[in-house]
Amino acid sequence: MKNIRAVIFDMDGLLLDTERICCDVLLKTFDDHGETMTREEFIDLIGLNSKEVRLRIKQKLGDEIGLDLFVKTWKERYFMRTVEQAAPLKEGVVDLLTYFKSVNLPMAVATSTDHETALKKLEKANLLHYFSNVVGGDQIERSKPAPDIYLKAAEVLQVKATHCLAFEDSRFGVEAALKAGMRTIHIPDMVELPEKLILRCLGTYGNLSGFLQEYSKGVS
């Protein structure tokens, strides 16, 4: 991986093990309102920004249930488990971030979560200090799978997108990073990617520890 000058990470499902929490809470909120959302329908929301998620929830709820109250209930339950208390980390996160910091590779986060919430999540999980910048979904015009958020992250790091290594778990995220021209590592979480998309990635690893083991061999 020659000419890598910076590293950019997705957050939810990649650094923080929050997607399953989000799924459980959202499905429970639908159930409490007498409606149903399936796990598969939730997976289709992963990687979208809050505006897109609200639109899809509204389409599913219809007009009889107030969208604002529904989202408020869901968000309060989710924030209690991921913002007010530290979200669980995915395997290998601290080791990988520590390694990249030790070799002076600048790092940023590119997340569909809004900027303020992302900062709170990362700070609570004691990860914020690793990153030079955090770009949230509310700071760009188009959400993933458009490349905007990754291009913005490269811009704030002052590194060409083609010299960035991106880590993603979701289909929309992988597509966004690839469209930005970044070399992309896929770390699967809840979403299965089509094989043709996986083949466009630089590699797929079961977790960040697996990537670190292979990467450190290559540069040692």
Instruction: Give, for all 220 residues of the chain, the pLDDT tens digit.
Output: 689 999 999 999 999 999 999 999 999 999 998 889 999 999 888 877 788 899 999 988 877 678 999 999 999 999 999 999 999 999 999 999 999 999 999 999 999 999 999 999 999 999 999 999 999 999 999 989 999 999 999 999 999 999 999 999 999 999 999 999 999 999 999 888 999 999 999 999 999 999 999 988 776 4
214 & 106 share domain: yes
Q: Are residues 95 and 106 in the same domain?
A: yes
Structure tokens at 33: 């309102």
pLDDT given at position 219: 61
Tell me, yes or no, whether 122 and 53 share the same domain.
Answer: no
* pTM beyond 0.95: no
- Confidence (pLDDT) at 220: 45
Q: In this predicted structure, what is the pLDDT of residue 30? A: 94
Residues 145 and 201 in one domain: yes
Q: Which of 82, 110, 134 is the last residue of a domain?
A: 82
The reply to whether 1 falls in a domain is no
Q: What is the DSSP letter of 138?
A: G
- Domain final position from 82, 103, 120: 82
Domain of 95, in residue numbers: 6-17+88-219
Tell me whether residue 104 is in a domain. Answer: yes
The pLDDT, as a whole number, for residue 158 is 98
Q: Which of 117, 107, 96, 111 is nearest to 172 (CA)?
A: 111
- Residue with the two structure tokens 């209690």: 80
Distance CA 126, CA 195 (A): 35
Residue ranges of alpha helices (H) inside the chain are 19-32, 39-43, 50-61, 67-82, 93-102, 115-124, 148-157, 171-179, 195-198, 208-219
